[in-house]
Structure 1
């Protein structure tokens, strides 16, 4: 029996970064792998397989309407970066009933682990006291009541309650926190099942001791957490930024931390790397991470596991259930994705 063709163009991603050896072997058992190298696929190789491939896996999949029309057997485009790309004609994919799948859910464990580690470290003053040890200024047996707090029973807020936020919430469950979230996309019934209170952004900011920014960037949420929202944070609140700096007024965040109104734990920045003379490097109430929340050995291999699981489902005639599925109404709002009249009409039809 002929196996379906899967073009694998991981580009800068290594295969062992995305897949365990067992999952990569399973992928090869299910599909005939084409290219499957860590260098970008030559245009000639993609063109040669365009009409034959059933799955197109790429760190930066690029398909225009003409290519999609020629890809007669294509069932799914699976990106390998972690977010929906702006290099795919989504309207054409939807028209031809081609799934576009994002592997962001495969980073939920590693990113959530880092977010929780940063929150616990900041709440208990671990990094601050560690640095004070270097100069002999540590506080022996001190509660540090003005800066430190426990996570037990704490009020925790989220901006965006997607895969990462849900995994953070799951990891924090033993602390019995009170969780609220601002997420206009989350169905209230689903929120109730997840045990999260949906609230306005203002209410979440006012009531949260720990304020996680975990939403995906869209056209409409740039600077969503603005200076007014940051001003509503309670004194001593901790802001944990692990999604994208796109969502926050970064200058206002820095100013609030510099004034010692709040604490911050930051993994992503508007400009990377952070300037060597940036004030954040000098603030003792800030924990900094160089955009490596997902960067740990094995930390992205859940992506491969979910890819293999969803390809298996599709080969069995079932819809994908593990990766994030593109939908017209959501894709239309994603930062970087171009509008088109066809895509807009598809989104309107689903409302």
Structure 2
């Protein structure tokens, strides 16, 4: 039988209720003593709780794990983040001390991919344009996005054409966890998928049923471009004015990843022309300001950074965390471990 361990769970009451179902809490309690901290950002409370603790479960708003905080961690061997990105609180000191790290971000991959797919279908079928037109009192022939001058003159047939997913060229930027889920859905539904990811090998692309390509070629040939790349220095504004200009008339940009990837000013210019469409779940400023001009554009579909916000996603985060602790306590390999090197390539 595995040795009883001291586990600190640093999460607000609302987060615990949303993520850790009674079954998940029972699994944690079976591992050992669970000490609960209601404020994950309280460094003093965490330092007071760390002595003798072997496992720390973190959550949204976690305090940075600096050398000062970890000085009290005399027995800490595992940090299990019960959400996705750990970049906002993880430090090199964690790895220097040989503490292992795991996280539950895999739970978010499918729901975000589903929203990306929903966005893709909406863009291809112009659902967002028709919805805007119908609310404004119009009908099919009125579903035309105005140009920056307010005129619809010169709007090409390609801008208004509807397309099905089967046979449409879809470009995926980033074969991340979410990108892979999205790719699998697209391939299953018959889309012609190309992927830009410098880490994707030709062999892996063939396994997925897609083709690797350059970013420029992807932009030139895709009806929908979906972003699933990580937040890294080299990906900042990787989609700028030059890249957007490569997209054909009537193409659409889908972003459920990070606004970091896109030059927002350049995108707004293209969207105001009515030449391309977009579906966006992420923004430079959140909440999106009420007077942001993108809110007024009929060729843009907007959601308030909620792509991962399903009940099932949150509960799965708790289940993944409990399963990882069970594996750790019985000496089994972790399924979602993060190394220091891998962390540098993640959002």
Equivalent residue for 1:75? 77
Equivalent residue for 2:185? 171
Relative to the length of structure 1, the TM-score reads 0.85
Q: What residue ranges of structure 2 are gaps of 5+ in the alignment?
A: 144-156
Of 243-252 and 168-177, more deviation after overlay is shown by 168-177
Relative to the length of structure 2, the TM-score reads 0.86
Task: Tell me the distance in 1 between the aligned counterparts of 2:107 and 2:129.
Answer: 32
Structure 1's 246 and 43: CA in aligned 2 closer, same or farther, altered over 3 A? closer
Task: Tell me the distance in 2 between the aligned counterparts of 1:61 and 1:98.
Answer: 16
Equivalent residue for 1:326? 339
Is the Cα–Cα contact under 8 Å of residues 7 and 35 in structure 1 kept in the other structure?
yes
Is the Cα–Cα contact under 8 Å of residues 104 and 324 in structure 1 kept in the other structure?
no
1:85-108 per-position Cα deviation (integer Å, ceiling 9, x unaligned): 333322x32233212223322211
Is the Cα–Cα contact under 8 Å of residues 230 and 345 in structure 2 kept in the other structure?
no
Is 1:46 aligned to 2:58, yes or no? no
Structure 1's 120 and 324: CA in aligned 2 closer, same or farther, altered over 3 A? farther
- 3-state SS, counterpart of residue 8 of structure 1: strand
Is the Cα–Cα contact under 8 Å of residues 232 and 345 in structure 2 kept in the other structure?
yes
> After the TM superposition, which residues 82-93 of structure 1 pair with which residues of structure 2 at under 5 Å, given as runs?
82-90=84-92, 92-93=93-94
- 3-state SS, counterpart of residue 35 of structure 1: strand
2:233 alignment partner, one of 208, 219, 236: 219
> After the TM superposition, which residues 273-292 of structure 1 pair with which residues of structure 2 at under 5 Å, given as runs?
273-292=287-306
Structure 1's 7 and 191: CA in aligned 2 closer, same or farther, altered over 3 A? farther
1:287-317 per-position Cα deviation (integer Å, ceiling 9, x unaligned): 0111111123333222122212222222221
Of 230-239 and 77-86, more deviation after overlay is shown by 77-86
Is 1:203 aligned to 2:204, yes or no? no
Tell me the C-alpha RMSD between the 2 structures: 2.5
Aligned-pair CA distance for 1:194: 2.3
> After the TM superposition, which residues 1-351 of structure 1 pair with which residues of structure 2 at under 5 Å, given as runs?
3-11=4-12, 14-35=15-36, 37=38, 39-40=39-40, 42-59=42-59, 60-68=62-70, 70-90=72-92, 92-139=93-140, 146-321=160-335, 323=336, 325-328=338-341, 330-332=342-344
1:204-250 per-position Cα deviation (integer Å, ceiling 9, x unaligned): 11121111111121122111112111111121111001111001111
Aligned residues: 329
Is the Cα–Cα contact under 8 Å of residues 252 and 276 in structure 2 kept in the other structure?
yes
Q: What residue ranges of structure 1 are gaps of 5+ in the alignment?
A: 336-351
Of 231-240 and 96-105, more deviation after overlay is shown by 96-105
1:136-184 per-position Cα deviation (integer Å, ceiling 9, x unaligned): 42229x9x86332111122111111111111112223332112222112
Structure 1's 169 and 20: CA in aligned 2 closer, same or farther, altered over 3 A? farther
Task: Tell me the distance in 1 between the aligned counterparts of 2:22 and 2:63.
Answer: 24
Of 248-257 and 121-130, more deviation after overlay is shown by 121-130
